[in-house]
Amino acid sequence: MIALLTGQIFSSDASGCVIDVNGVGYLVFASTRTLAALPQHGGTCRLLIETVVREDAILLYGFAEAAERDWFRLLTTVQGVGAKVALGILSALAPRDLVAAIAGQDRGALTRAPGVGPKLAVRLVTELRDKVGGMPTGSGVSLPTAAAPAGGLAADAISALANLGYRRAEAAPVVERALAADPAITLDGLIRAGLRDLAR
């Protein structure tokens, strides 16, 4: 089983990236949080990997920090939460936010994640509330991926969209519009809003 990959970013999109490890390209699916932390095309990254073996495929899921990987493992133990939904939850909520949402039985916070409806939110709270006490909050040290871009929230979001293949010139105006519409928006929300706007 593959547990760690270190290589160069060959390509990336909204759902994952291809990492070139000594001439072999590995397709790795990841949350928007991890994708935003990756360097630009050709940069070197290191990701923790969770290998999922299915009847028809072997799939790799990458994480910039152990906390996110551990939450991915826990989330996928819940009925109705597959790998795609787990990544959606981790894109919408950081590990510390997940701890707070589940411990506080905040089902509304969970339904912000794509693929999580009211019934699944209830199941997540019910099945995981006794397990969140021992879960990491993501405050530990992440694996090195790339230096954080300077310049605040807008610069971080523009950099993340550039890493996903969009030109900075087209990413900048959509980020500015999203920030103007919601000054309290988070980085993840800003990236998602930018992706929605750019996809039109």
- pLDDT (tens digit per residue) in 41-50: 888 999 999 9
Whether 89 and 57 map to the same domain: the answer is no
- Is 50 part of a structural domain of the chain? yes
Whether 85 and 25 map to the same domain: the answer is no
Whether 179 and 162 map to the same domain: the answer is yes
Is pLDDT above 80 for 165?
no
In DSSP notation, 70-128 reads HHHHHHTTSTT--HHHHHHHHHHS-HHHHHHHHHTT-HHHHTTSTT--HHHHHHHHHHH
- pLDDT (tens digit per residue) in 48-80: 999 999 899 999 999 999 999 999 999 999 999
Q: How many CB atoms lie within 10 A of CB 69?
A: 22
What distance in Å separates the CA atoms of residue 134 and residue 139, rounded to the nearest whole number?
14
In the numeric block, which tokens belong to residue 67?
Answer: 């906390």
Q: How many CB atoms lie within 10 A of CB 60?
A: 19
Percentage of the chain with pLDDT > 70?
Answer: 92
- 107-124: b or e for each residue (b if 16 or more CB lie within 10 Å)? bebbbbbebbeeebbebb
Domain extent at residue 40: 4-63
Whether 101 and 43 map to the same domain: the answer is no
For residues 17 and 28, the answer to whether their CB atoms sit within 8 Å is: yes
Whether 14 and 56 map to the same domain: the answer is yes
Whether 81 and 101 map to the same domain: the answer is yes
For residues 47 and 34, the answer to whether their CB atoms sit within 8 Å is: yes
Whether 59 and 71 map to the same domain: the answer is no
Residue count of the chain, please give it.
Answer: 200
pLDDT for the residue numbered 9: 93
Whether 72 and 59 map to the same domain: the answer is no
Residue 9: which CATH number? 2.40.50.140
- Is 142 part of a structural domain of the chain? no
The number of domains in the chain is: 3
pTM over 0.85: no
Whether 34 and 73 map to the same domain: the answer is no
